[in-house]
């Protein structure tokens, strides 16, 4: 760098940085949506799994006392509880657990209304954020979607890690039937300088079928552009998504977690 003025060097670095920023702005959501190969369809019978004795019960059919609003954690979760299940209130926004978790085993059951309408991402879209690391949709999203005979990009169908990891199979049951996720989440760890030390890993059974096998995440879910670990975080709440699609809201039941 002997004959290269420092100011020019800094200027060229700045221009390179601006070009990268421009490239990021021009990236389209479609550039990270994939359609092949399509995970094979697998059928299973509806079943439930009761909580083990050492589990933390996050929803027992009675109330949402373990949950708060994501955008204002001082506010109680404003979703609707009735008939031992709770249903998304699309006007209110995402909800998340009061308690923060690091590594855990989680069970959750979800149901798409039998009379669901819409297609693709606009048909029964919700999501389970394995760690909520900010307001809105920040975090690592295990997609919840009606993927029964409903085509979309495969890294956006049910049990995908949204825009990152395609599920190994598609065991989605018909709308109106209950679906179950059993998840083992290993949170990422970070170095003192915020860089990632060990990436997050996830194993998911969807209706008892292995769909994510100790899979490594590239970072939190990112709708546009490539995911990456951009900031360190510690134990985090578990979040459920109130998605803005116009279709009918989903319901949930029997949620429990075991810290590991
Ligand atoms: Mg979603």
Number of helices (H), then strands (E), belonging to the chain: the values are 1, 15
Residue 46 has pLDDT above 90, yes or no: no
Q: How far is CA 133 from CA 76, 138, 152, 182, in A?
A: 19, 6, 26, 21
Under the banding of pLDDT at 50, 70 and 90, the label for residue 22 is low
Give the tens place of pLDDT for each residue, 131-178: 999 889 999 999 999 999 999 999 999 999 999 999 999 999 999 999
Residue 18 has pLDDT above 60, yes or no: no
User: Is 1 inside a domain boundary?
Assistant: no
Count of domains observed in the chain: 1
Cβ atoms of residues 200 and 140 within 8 Å: yes
Q: Which residues form the domain of 12?
A: 6-259
DSSP 8-state symbol, 16: H
**CATH code of 230's domain:** 2.60.120.560
Nearest 5°: the CA angle 72, 78, 81 is 150
185 vs 183: CA distance, rounded Å: 6
| 157 alpha carbon – ligand 1 mean position (Å) | 9
Under the banding of pLDDT at 50, 70 and 90, the label for residue 14 is low
Give the tens place of pLDDT for each residue, 48-66: 889 999 999 999 999 999 9
Cβ atoms of residues 128 and 238 within 8 Å: yes
| 243 alpha carbon – ligand 1 mean position (Å) | 6
Give the tens place of pLDDT for each residue, 184-220: 999 999 999 999 999 999 999 999 999 999 999 999 9
User: Is 188 inside a domain boundary?
Assistant: yes
Give the tens place of pLDDT for each residue, 50-107: 999 999 999 999 999 999 999 999 999 999 999 999 999 999 999 999 999 999 999 9
Q: Which residues surround ligand 1, an ion (CB under 5 A)?
A: 125, 127, 241
| 145 alpha carbon – ligand 1 mean position (Å) | 7
């Amino acid at each position: 760098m002997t004959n290269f003025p420092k100011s020019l060097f800094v200027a060229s670095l700045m221009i390179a940085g601006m070009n990268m920023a421009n490239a990021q702005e021009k990236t389209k959501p479609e550039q990270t949506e994939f359609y092949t190969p399509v995970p094979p369809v697998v059928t299973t019978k509806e079943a439930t799994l009761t909580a083990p004795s050492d589990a933390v019960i996050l929803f027992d059919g009675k109330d949402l006392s373990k949950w708060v609003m994501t955008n204002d954690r001082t506010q109680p979760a404003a979703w609707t509880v009735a008939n031992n299940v709770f249903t998304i209130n699309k006007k209110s926004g995402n909800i998340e657990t009061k308690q923060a978790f690091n590594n855990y085993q989680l069970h959750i059951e979800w149901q798409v209304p039998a009379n669901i309408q819409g297609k693709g991402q606009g048909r029964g879209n919700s999501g389970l954020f394995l760690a909520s690391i900010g307001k809105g949709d920040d975090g690592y999203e295990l997609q919840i979607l009606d993927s029964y005979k409903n085509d979309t990009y495969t890294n956006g169908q049910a049990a995908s890690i949204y825009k990152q990891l395609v599920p190994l199979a598609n065991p989605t049951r018909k709308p109106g039937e209950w679906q179950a996720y059993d998840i083992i989440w290993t949170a990422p760890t970070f170095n003192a300088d915020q860089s990632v030390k060990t990436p997050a890993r996830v194993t998911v059974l969807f209706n008892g079928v292995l769909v994510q096998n100790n899979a490594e995440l590239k970072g939190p879910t990112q709708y546009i552009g490539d995911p990456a670990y951009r900031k360190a975080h510690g134990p985090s709440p578990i979040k459920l998504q109130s998605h803005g699609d116009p279709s009918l809201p989903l319901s949930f039941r029997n949620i429990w977690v075991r810290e590991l």
